[in-house]
Amino acid sequence: MNRISKLYLWLSEGRIARRCARLATGEGQTMTEYVLIVSAVGIAVLAGYQTAGTDLKSLVTTLTAEL
């Protein structure tokens, strides 16, 4: 048996195959997905807050100077 066949058998019948099968079922992914979504929303809100905060500060400064 050549090396490629042995490697294929080792991957398809070993621990790696069992782990891949467990990942393919989708078990245990919901909490990870929620964490990623909440993190992305938090980053977007923080970026928006920083941008809007800078714009509002300059707007208030401009209005104060004109009054």
Is 11:17 a contact under the CB 8 Å cutoff? yes
Contacting residues for 36 by C-beta, under 8 A, at least 6 apart:
none
Give me the residue spans of the domains in the chain: 3-66
Mean pLDDT by 10 residues, the chain (67 residues): 71 68 64 87 88 79 85
- Torsion angle of C-alpha atoms 44, 46, 47, 50, degrees rounded to 10: 160
Task: Quote the pTM value.
Answer: 0.43
What DSSP assignment string belongs to 14-55?
SHHHHHHHHHHTTTT-HHHHHHHHHHHHHHHHHHHHHHHHHH
pLDDT in tens, 6-18: 777 666 776 666 6
